[in-house]
Amino acid sequence: MPSNNLEGNLKKIAASDERLADLLRQSYDPGYPEIRTAKSGEAIPVVNKKCLHSTYNPIAEAQKWMESCDLHANDNKTYVLGGIGFGYHVDELLKIIPPERLIIVEKDPGLAAAVLANRPVGFLPDKVRLLVGLSAVQSFERIIRYCASQNDEIFFLEHPASSSLYPDFYITLKGIVKAQWTTKRGGYKILLVSPLYGGSLPISYHVHDALNKLGHRCELLDNSVFYPGMQHLNDLTSNKNHQSRLDSGLTTLLAESVTARALEIKADLVLGMAQSPLTPEVLRELKKAGIQTAFWFIEDLQILEYWKALVPFVENFFAIQKGEYAEKLKENGCPFPNYLPLAANPDVHNPMQLTQEEESEFGGNVSHVGAGYHNRRNFFAGLLDLDFKIWGNDWDNPGTLKTALQREGERINTEDSTRIFNTTKINVNLHSSTYHDGINPFGDYLNPRTFEIAACGAFQLVDNRQYLSESFEVGDEIITFDSIQDCRERIVHYLANPHERIEIAGRARQRVLTMHTYEHRMLELLGVIAGRNPHWTPQGGGLPTAEEIIVGEKPGSALAGVMERFKDRGPLTLEDIASEIEKGEGELSRTEGMILLLNEFRRWGVEKGVL
């Protein structure tokens, strides 16, 4: 009977989603999950020793759950159910919710396949959407795609037993739904704190762009303007103690500016990046003021350990490493470490058409963009006979590598890096190490170039990394090497087979666009914060949309008439409305004149510092 049910249900699913049907068929295991029989006779799945329904009467349990949800059919809502179990709660839900308004999200493909095998054919109506085996971000993107309109309110429902199995997944998904719903009224106000210099600085710009594109109000506190001052202070003395005290004083000053600005703009979140000038004292002040804090540590936790001073005071800590490092974070006062890998910005990292002069300058058969770490100096000596170019800084005393070093080892900006990726036939991406002579056999995290090169539609060879197969299909979307000889052989092969390079690079680019952009990462980051802090709402209450203003007015009112032109524009400020009116021609209506007058008062208040 189970196999008949499975095939019958899969056939119905395949009619609208063949890929999902294939996934479920491949995921089905007759021995998974353990199945017990409730006293009332229904099959009960048991996963990790947890029963997903009542072993006494799962239907009665589902009915009580429905009563606790206090739902009423609403055609303007999309209902998202987290966790399918064996579907007894789904049966009750469908007695109230129209099937076209229900989306079920299940993390475990094996469990989803089992419910299809143990429930009657067609127990899920055709119009119910089923999302299985996706990340929280991917699930959210599908949910948005399935909503009847952009103005649909998404109502998230939790199946308690499923949530307890995969708490991080469902907390994050629920948080993403909540965080993005706030964008309909202006979103969160976020103060993003950049470092003064280094690899985190350009990533700060990408994060800023991503947060604003998502509909939040992100302001960048760009500390790079202080970098010349820091250099000047360091040049004042050769005494290491004095240099350290000067650096500490500058950090304290810049950290205090974070508090000042966050309070000034009434920030909902202060987000720091690796090397951002934040101190425990400032983080305590921000928490006292009710402002959420987050830190994205995009460096190696093993090499740079300044994170130990910050994690006890940061409310939401994100890192590009996990596993044993998550345990170390917990040991140092971080209760919920979050893994968040790097990404690419498709608006910056993309295929480019370059001039002949640019092709000549930046192009080549084989190249590397990056700093002169110990392992790269040793490894790249074995590539010098392959028309190899090295771009980047910190290559002092290059020795035999001098012939490959471009621009005498100056720092390469983001724009030129993208040009190099695009015009190089084979980009060699060797992750840095200060203590290995070549490839780090224990390397885990992925550097930004892994995603940036791929986003450009460019071809790369990358040293094998522990997390690589989680982000790309190795061998199909990205090619790895394990030794200098392996790297050389692959260079020779792919130089001789350009069609293979193009196909592999194209698939890698598509992977990045669908899973590894900074918008994806910021969706997850905000989802984690909003999910773990259910009462976190924008301090200002958000901004209204034209549609909301019209609904609040009497039919035919003058203000409603003015707001008609602002429909589908999202959240609006008074400045937005006034600026549009100022661009118009003809005589102003009384209502338009009042809006312009109010905006002039607002501008005056801002100028005088009273608003």
- Per-residue pLDDT at 79 exceeds 90: yes
Domain boundaries defined on the chain: 2-161, 183-343, 356-516, 546-608
Determine the length of the chain: 611
pLDDT of the residue at 1: 46
Question: Going by CATH, does the domain composed of 356-516 fall within 3.40.50.2000?
Answer: yes
- Per-residue pLDDT at 164 exceeds 50: yes
Question: Going by CATH, does the domain composed of 2-161 fall within 3.40.50?
Answer: yes
Look up residue 346 and give its DSSP letter.
Answer: T
Is residue 337 a contact partner of residue 319, using CB atoms and an 8 Å limit? Answer: yes
- Per-residue pLDDT at 540 exceeds 80: no
pLDDT of the residue at 608: 67
Calculate mean pLDDT across residues 325-352.
Answer: 96
Write phi, then psi, for 102 (nearest 5 degrees). -115, 130
- Per-residue pLDDT at 445 exceeds 60: yes
How far is 506 from 350, CA to CA, in rounded Å? 11
pLDDT of the residue at 99: 94
Beta carbons within 8 Å of 532's beta carbon, 6+ residues apart: 171, 175, 316, 336
Dump pLDDT digits (tens) for 557-601: 999 888 888 887 777 888 889 888 888 888 889 998 899 999 888
- Per-residue pLDDT at 611 exceeds 70: no
Is residue 426 a contact partner of residue 460, using CB atoms and an 8 Å limit? Answer: yes
Residue 609's pLDDT band (cuts 50, 70, 90): low
Is residue 467 a contact partner of residue 342, using CB atoms and an 8 Å limit? Answer: no
How far is 374 from 303, CA to CA, in rounded Å? 14
Buried b (16+ CB within 10 A) or exposed e, 464-484: bbbbbeebbeeeebbbbbeeb
Candidates 298, 356, 228; CA nearest to 518 is 298
Residue 184's pLDDT band (cuts 50, 70, 90): confident
Dump pLDDT digits (tens) for 479-538: 999 999 999 999 999 999 999 999 999 999 999 999 999 999 999 999 999 999 999 999
pLDDT of the residue at 329: 95
Fold that domain 183-343 belongs to in CATH: Rossmann fold (3.40.50)
Dump pLDDT digits (tens) for 102-149: 999 999 999 999 999 999 999 999 999 999 999 999 999 999 999 877
SS3 for 361-412, per residue? HHCEEEEEECCCCHHHHHHHHHHCCCCEEEECCCCCCCHHHHHCECHHHCCC
How far is 27 from 4, CA to CA, in rounded Å? 16
Provide the 3-class DSSP secondary structure of residue 431. Answer: coil
How far is 570 from 3, CA to CA, in rounded Å? 49
Question: What are the tokens at 532?
Answer: 């773990």
Q: Do 356-516 and 2-161 have the same topology in CATH?
A: yes
Lowest-pLDDT choice from 237-246, 336-345, 447-456? 237-246
- Per-residue pLDDT at 176 exceeds 60: yes
Lowest-pLDDT choice from 37-41, 68-72, 247-251, 543-547? 543-547
